[in-house]
Structure 1
Amino acid sequence: MRRAIRHARLLGIDHPVLAPATTSVIANLGDVWPELTYQASLIEQVVTAEEESFTRTLTQGTRLLNAAVTHSRDSRSTTLTGETAFELHDTYGFPVELTIEAARDAGLTVDEDRFTTLLAEQQKRAKAGGKARTAEALRRQDAYRELSSRHGRTDFTGYDRLATEATVLGLIADGTVVPGADQGSTLELVLDRSPFYAESGGQVGDTGTIRTSSGALLDVLDTRLGLEGFHVHTVRIREGEIRTGEQAEALVDGPRRDAVARSHSATHVLHAMLRRTLGDHARQHGSLVDAGRLRFDFAHFSAVDPTQLAAIQALVNDHLLDDPEVRIWHATRSEAEAAGATALFGEKYGDHVRIVDIGDFSRELCGSTHVPHGSNAGPVRILGEASVGSNLRRIEALTGRDALTYHDTERRLLEELSTLLGTRPHDAPDALRKRLDALTTAQQELARLRETELRTRAQQLAASARTVPGGRIVIEKVTGLGPDELRTLATNTADLLGSEHAIVILGTEHDGKALLAAAITRSLHDTGTRASRLLTAAARAVGGGAGGKGPIANAGGRNTEALDEALTLAAQDATRLLGQ
């Protein structure tokens, strides 16, 4: 087999020359695009991270390929299975041409017909699933277009109020416009005016209630944009029945909306502090803003270490405690960009935009809801940071009351821990560290004593070995041992029997199972004998199977009552083998 570098070159990547090539590109094009020179260090770090990531994937795939080739050779097959080729293609991105080339180097062929079949089946499944989803989505979109063309955009009143008088313009069930619905039904509803914020900009849709003039009560489970500017409410009818054209009162769940607004304002501040700490490249690449929590994806080429993460959290909370004013204003897109407003990844903006300023450190284009002052958004508690893709990181955090509740939970856990340790909360880490050190020392001493005990028991077992035609055997039922210790005792006993042909078979009961271990001396193993042969019949007796390689084997089963019978069978097989 050629090495991974050969595989990389087959893929068209002459690893590892990407970083020098990047330097050359920056040098040649830096005058035309100054950003290349300005961000040269970041670009080189990102490219290096990509190289390392690709090399890891390539190495993992190559291991699988090498193992498959070895298996084919051991089984005397001249063909690499289509399943292996497909897994390399599907999981590791190996083109089938690369697998064919590597197999040819090893003197093998690839079952290309099977690979083609598996690939076609995968594509068929994906296509079928996509068609079903597409058909349903098209029905819904047709219903949205029908209502939108008839009634126009939804008048969103939710920036200024949480309750609005409205008219029911349409009801949609299973993608079809219907005239009405009864109690217990779940469907979609369209109003002419709505205080419910529709999910967008990473912010979740509002929930709440709608009560009609006829007395029906509906729970609003979610609010989404069916079309641009057209709000669709997912509702469940709790009481009564509803008909198109009815008057209704729409009421947003105020406490939940406030919690969501806190999270969104906190997200803006987090974005600003990430860029300040990590660099301007750490821009938002997606988010989830929910009641009491947020998830924030941003561009970065390496993990943010705990010290940096703690510093970012402190910066966010410090700026929120300064209570900056949250100011909202409108301008043209060009005016907003000239004023330094940040446009977020993946968002669509019109010619006139809404800008949210938080103090003098955050200015973003945003159509979502916010708190009036920074102190209303805190505190913020960062839970952790992780990778969610190549050069893409994710921070998850809690805000407001949820952050305080989390803090209280941690405090109670610390108090409980300090009580168990018999110390003050402040001293708990040192006290726990000392207990763990003492436990480690005790475990090491216990292991040493246990090892000494096993050596002593091995000497006793070796001394009790019976002589049979062709060698010596030890067949014994022991107690108080786990699987690993049983194998160790069998191996140690065999070692003590020296260079003569000898077999050791031990059995025990552990956790409701019958366990057996067999060990043979080196001289017997050199004749081609495998220890697993000695446990085949014994394993069947206890209701299990035998396994192992070379001079040591083990078996186990649930039939503990048959352990004595299993040892008898193993003794017979051992005596027969030595007598041959």
Structure 2
Amino acid sequence: MKNLTSSEIRKMYLDFWASKGHKIEPSASLVPVNDPTLLWINSGVATLKKYFDGSVVPDNPRITNSQKSIRTNDIENVGVTARHHTLFEMLGNFSIGDYFKEEAIPWAWELLTSKEWLAFDPELLYVTYYPKDEDTKRIWKEKVGLPESHIVPFEDNFWDIGAGPCGPCTEIFYDRGVAYQDLPDGDPEMYPGGENERYLEIWNLVFSEFNHMPDGSYEPLPHKNVDTGMGLERVTSVIQNTPTNFETDLFMPIIRKIEALSGSVKYGDNPKTDISFKVIADHVRAVSFAIGDRALPSNEGRGYILRRLIRRSVMHGQKLGINRLFLFELVPVVAEIMKGYYPEVETDCDFIIKVITNEEQRFQETIHGGLDILHEVFNTMTETKTTVISGTDAFKLYDTFGFPLELTEEYAEEKGFTVDKDGFNEEMQSQRNRARAARQVEDSFSVQSAVLGDITVESTFDGYDKTSLSSELLVVIENDEIKESASAGNTAQLIFKTTPFYAEMGGQAADMGVIKAENGEIVATIVDVKRAPNGQHLHTAEMNMDLNSNQTYFLQVDENRRRGITKNHTATHLLHQALKDVLGTHANQAGSLVAPNHLRFDFTHFGQATQEELSEMERIVNQKIWDALPVVTVETTIDKAKEMGAMALFGEKYGSEVRVVDVAGYSVELCGGIHVQNSQEIGVFKILSESGIGAGVRRIEAITGQAAYEYFREKEEELLAAARLVKAQQTKEVTGKIEALRQELKDSESEKDSLRAKLLAMESQDIFADIKEANGITYITYQTKNQGMNDLRELADQWRQKAVSDVFVAASDLDGKVSLLAAVAKDKIGTVKAGDLIKEIAPLVGGGGGGRPDMAQAGGKNPAGIPQAIERVGTWLAE
């Protein structure tokens, strides 16, 4: 076996598959693009789903990649086991309907054992296979030459996650030797595929040859596929001969930096502190990559995962004696390790550090809240004379505040308490079950359609500068079957030799329009256009008349709809750059919708954009419109586009040939959509709203052109109506009139408050004269109507000034809602507490409340209970 670094292993893997005709796909963003079913990219195949389910046919059916991935269903096992990670790299090679078992298995063996490549000792390699998959066993035995003793049948070797492609798999194991054997010989788990440390799985080859149908049946796939996965961290630990993944060159520089930050604790000295080193090293990698891909900490979704990873790291840092902000100091170390293949971590280092630092600071505030909760639990246990912290409480501290179970146990031990570990594990298992149930939905593929995937006719889009043309109809599809014709009254899918209709993609809505016969009659209405798996524009048409393939028809795009779309599309480009100008370069596009009447633009940002920032963006975009900037579209290579400074959508993948849309150098973006020729065609731009739609993602809704004009007309009508209401002669007087009315109302309220205060002062003469006594405590009660809590507090202030009794209780009914107030003289709060009194009487008016020992208040919904509440004051004091 060769002595290789992790970078060399990754490169060698990709080079090998490139030598077998595979296209090397770059690692995609951890945040899924156009795939709402996934929280994170969690495997190498996750970014290739569109190829496996047949919705897109790749240019090259042979693909290889090293894909950064995140899995978070077993976070609590990170650091405890040898190979659990949140972030990992999955090396994979894929065949989309091309080669299959006969090629995949020998090639895998060649990569592993050839002296030119990884040079594993063949004697130390074992494989498992699905018992019914005799082909795989035969290939291992006859083509590879593996002895029967190294080929193990295993019932679990069938990859199936629900509807879509599935099939048998074969796993390759490495024998690490007796030094790693953790079970005795003869143990039922001591074999390749069993739960042991000696035989380590390094590679899984999945052969997708069936469609798992929605009804539960299995049908042969129209195109068989290969999907393999080899964890870089795991294979690196084998090649570098380390006890766990954490001693490899992927983690040790981070661990050494953590040692330096700790000052006194060393890795390897204590198994307990080693867990903390591993947790921090793992989590900071995941957090750095995820933030670099524009996921931001929050209280939901993937943002919640990031927040939890950061908080776990901080808590484990404290266990190593690091009681200050420190995680941000590890980011440059991660960047240095990974920059050879992932230069973006180093490029975005400042941004990542800023986000992590902000989150660490937030947690320093929150951690005290967790300790407060823990101390409340301790106080309750002391009062109830219990000694075991419930699993529910322990899990709440873990899940909400990031307290590891062992930390809660340490605090508990100091108090002489223990923790219900079984109850905690039950809560944890419930969470895992929820996560697994969600993953069954998240990971599933669509069922392949053989019809669309097999259509390879040439079809071109010629609509960038045209909205109509004549074209031959090549394909007619009805009910997922190719037909010679489509009948009137039906809906069909059509492919033409050439089309001016834009297919929905890149956020731009599809064109609509009509199909006409030579005599000008409308044959069909186009209601939608999407891309077929092989790239043709697939028109969904509602048939007015019969329509036949191999005939020529006239295709007419709805020009008004197209005009609105192009204005909004160019406006989104201007808005994107304006966002960066105003908010910062981190504000990246996270999705968009370009429709005829409006545009929607999603972007990454820490918090809500202020009104001043929105106004500035709006001003910039309108200025660029009024500057009449030329909009030039250039077709060029991806490398040339980058030289031009073209902005790519974050996470998107682009081919070697791209279109660059250049708005006079102000906005330069890669885009396949349709745009105006000059910015002045947009007319005017207006932002309607800005809102949050998810973790660290904001949304702007805006309009242009005619829609903006209609919006301004509507607002003008509203302003004119307001002018009439306030009797303003001109709209410019409205603000002054409203301000005058506000002042008039304020003066009226002030006068009313003054009169009320005088009335209360007069009434108080009688109120404070009626003093009662119970159990040696003097008290006054008062009930009234149409007075709020402020009025009752004012009465209490007067009572306190007069010092006429020990206790004062007042109740009022205002619009069917009850206000209760209790006040106690400061020299009596050792005997009577206002909070206790209010809790006693509030239920009688259908409410609850509390407060300080000297003053408390409550609300209620049952005014009929006021007399009973007032009467209860005396009896409670007597008791």
Name the TM-score class by shorter chain: 0.7 to 0.9
* Distance in 2 between residues matched to 1:182 and 1:99, nearest whole Å: 71
Is the Cα contact below 8 Å between 1:326 and 1:358 reproduced in 2? yes
Report the AA paired with residue 366 of structure 1. Answer: C
Q: Does 1:367 align with 2:367?
A: no
Deviation at 1:368, TM superposition (A): 0.8
Structure with bigger helix share is: 1
Report the AA paired with residue 149 of structure 1. Answer: D
Is the Cα contact below 8 Å between 1:538 and 1:567 reproduced in 2? no
Mapping of 1:380-459 within 5 angstroms?
380-383=685-688, 395-423=700-728, 424-433=730-739, 435-436=741-742, 439-440=745-746, 443-444=749-750, 446-447=752-753, 449-459=755-765
* Distance in 2 between residues matched to 1:78 and 1:465, nearest whole Å: 48
2:850 is aligned to 548
Mapping of 1:465-480 within 5 angstroms?
465-467=771-773, 470-480=776-786
**Structure 2 counterpart of 1:67, from 373, 394, 402:** 373
Deviation at 1:476, TM superposition (A): 4.1
Structure 1 pair 274/512, CA: closer, same or farther in 2 (3 Å)? closer
1:294 is aligned to 599
RMSD: 5.0
* Distance in 2 between residues matched to 1:270 and 1:59, nearest whole Å: 36
* Distance in 1 between residues matched to 2:822 and 2:488, nearest whole Å: 70
1:269 is aligned to 574
Q: Does 1:55 align with 2:361?
A: yes
1:321 is aligned to 626
> Residue 786 of structure 2 aligns to a residue in which SS?
coil
Structure 1 pair 414/113, CA: closer, same or farther in 2 (3 Å)? farther
For residues 252-301 of structure 1, the C-alpha deviation after alignment (integer angstroms, 9 at most, x for no partner) is 44323321211111122333445556666655454332333333445667
Structure 2 gap segments, 5+ residues each: 1-310
> Residue 169 of structure 1 aligns to a residue in which SS?
strand
Q: Does 1:124 align with 2:433?
A: yes
1:462 is aligned to 768
Deviation at 1:16, TM superposition (A): 3.2
Deviation at 1:54, TM superposition (A): 3.5
Report the AA paired with residue 325 of structure 1. Answer: P
1:170 is aligned to 477
Q: Does 1:138 align with 2:442?
A: no
Report the AA paired with residue 816 of structure 2. Answer: G
* Distance in 1 between residues matched to 2:425 and 2:812, nearest whole Å: 51
1:205 is aligned to 510
Q: Does 1:9 align with 2:317?
A: yes
> Residue 288 of structure 1 aligns to a residue in which SS?
strand
Structure 1 pair 298/574, CA: closer, same or farther in 2 (3 Å)? closer
Structure 1 pair 198/100, CA: closer, same or farther in 2 (3 Å)? farther
For residues 79-98 of structure 1, the C-alpha deviation after alignment (integer angstroms, 9 at most, x for no partner) is 55544555555556665555
Structure 1 pair 258/517, CA: closer, same or farther in 2 (3 Å)? same
Q: Does 1:161 align with 2:161?
A: no
Q: Does 1:510 align with 2:814?
A: yes
Deviation at 1:414, TM superposition (A): 3.5
Is the Cα contact below 8 Å between 2:391 and 2:424 reproduced in 1? yes
For residues 218-251 of structure 1, the C-alpha deviation after alignment (integer angstroms, 9 at most, x for no partner) is 672x54445362445667x698999999998765
Deviation at 1:163, TM superposition (A): 6.9
Structure 1 pair 456/69, CA: closer, same or farther in 2 (3 Å)? farther
Is the Cα contact below 8 Å between 2:646 and 2:668 reproduced in 1? yes
* Distance in 2 between residues matched to 1:532 and 1:411, nearest whole Å: 57
Is the Cα contact below 8 Å between 1:167 and 1:245 reproduced in 2? yes
* Distance in 2 between residues matched to 1:34 and 1:553, nearest whole Å: 60
Which deviates the most, 369-378 or 195-204?
195-204
For residues 374-414 of structure 1, the C-alpha deviation after alignment (integer angstroms, 9 at most, x for no partner) is 22123112345567778766544322222222333333333
Structure 1 pair 316/532, CA: closer, same or farther in 2 (3 Å)? same
* Distance in 1 between residues matched to 2:411 and 2:418, nearest whole Å: 9
Structure 1 pair 567/138, CA: closer, same or farther in 2 (3 Å)? same
Structure 1 pair 246/447, CA: closer, same or farther in 2 (3 Å)? farther
> Residue 150 of structure 1 aligns to a residue in which SS?
coil
**Structure 1 counterpart of 2:875, from 573, 576, 579:** 576
For residues 141-184 of structure 1, the C-alpha deviation after alignment (integer angstroms, 9 at most, x for no partner) is x11x5422234565434433357664553346xxx769899999
* Distance in 2 between residues matched to 1:87 and 1:178, nearest whole Å: 57
Report the AA paired with residue 875 of structure 2. Answer: R
Structure 1 pair 196/171, CA: closer, same or farther in 2 (3 Å)? farther
* Distance in 2 between residues matched to 1:211 and 1:92, nearest whole Å: 65
Is the Cα contact below 8 Å between 2:838 and 2:858 reproduced in 1? no
2:140 is aligned to none
Deviation at 1:359, TM superposition (A): 3.0
**Structure 2 counterpart of 1:352, from 631, 641, 657:** 657
Is the Cα contact below 8 Å between 2:662 and 2:669 reproduced in 1? yes
Deviation at 1:202, TM superposition (A): 2.6
Mapping of 1:41-120 within 5 angstroms?
44=350, 47-60=353-366, 62-74=368-380, 76=382, 78-87=387-396, 90=399, 96=405, 109-120=418-429
* TM-score when normalising by structure 2: 0.52
Structure 1 pair 400/80, CA: closer, same or farther in 2 (3 Å)? farther
Mapping of 1:35-46 within 5 angstroms?
44=350
Report the AA paired with residue 482 of structure 1. Answer: G
* Distance in 2 between residues matched to 1:6 and 1:276, nearest whole Å: 34
Report the AA paired with residue 569 of structure 2. Answer: H
> Residue 313 of structure 1 aligns to a residue in which SS?
helix
Is the Cα contact below 8 Å between 1:58 and 1:92 reproduced in 2? no
Deviation at 1:128, TM superposition (A): 2.8
Deviation at 1:63, TM superposition (A): 1.9
> Residue 509 of structure 1 aligns to a residue in which SS?
strand
Is the Cα contact below 8 Å between 2:850 and 2:858 reproduced in 1? yes
For residues 171-210 of structure 1, the C-alpha deviation after alignment (integer angstroms, 9 at most, x for no partner) is 46xxx7698999999x884534554433322323344567
Structure 1 pair 360/474, CA: closer, same or farther in 2 (3 Å)? closer
**Structure 2 counterpart of 1:343, from 648, 661, 676:** 648
Is the Cα contact below 8 Å between 1:270 and 1:316 reproduced in 2? yes
Report the AA paired with residue 669 of structure 2. Answer: E
> Residue 454 of structure 2 aligns to a residue in which SS?
helix
* Distance in 1 between residues matched to 2:489 and 2:423, nearest whole Å: 50
> Residue 507 of structure 2 aligns to a residue in which SS?
coil
Is the Cα contact below 8 Å between 1:465 and 1:474 reproduced in 2? yes
Deviation at 1:366, TM superposition (A): 1.4
* Distance in 2 between residues matched to 1:284 and 1:357, nearest whole Å: 17
Report the AA paired with residue 425 of structure 2. Answer: T
Report the AA paired with residue 686 of structure 2. Answer: R
2:535 is aligned to 229
Is the Cα contact below 8 Å between 2:777 and 2:877 reproduced in 1? yes
For residues 106-146 of structure 1, the C-alpha deviation after alignment (integer angstroms, 9 at most, x for no partner) is 765554444433343344334334434655x421xx11x54
1:567 is aligned to 867
Structure 1 pair 385/85, CA: closer, same or farther in 2 (3 Å)? farther
> Residue 503 of structure 2 aligns to a residue in which SS?
coil
Is the Cα contact below 8 Å between 2:602 and 2:698 reproduced in 1? yes
> Residue 370 of structure 1 aligns to a residue in which SS?
coil
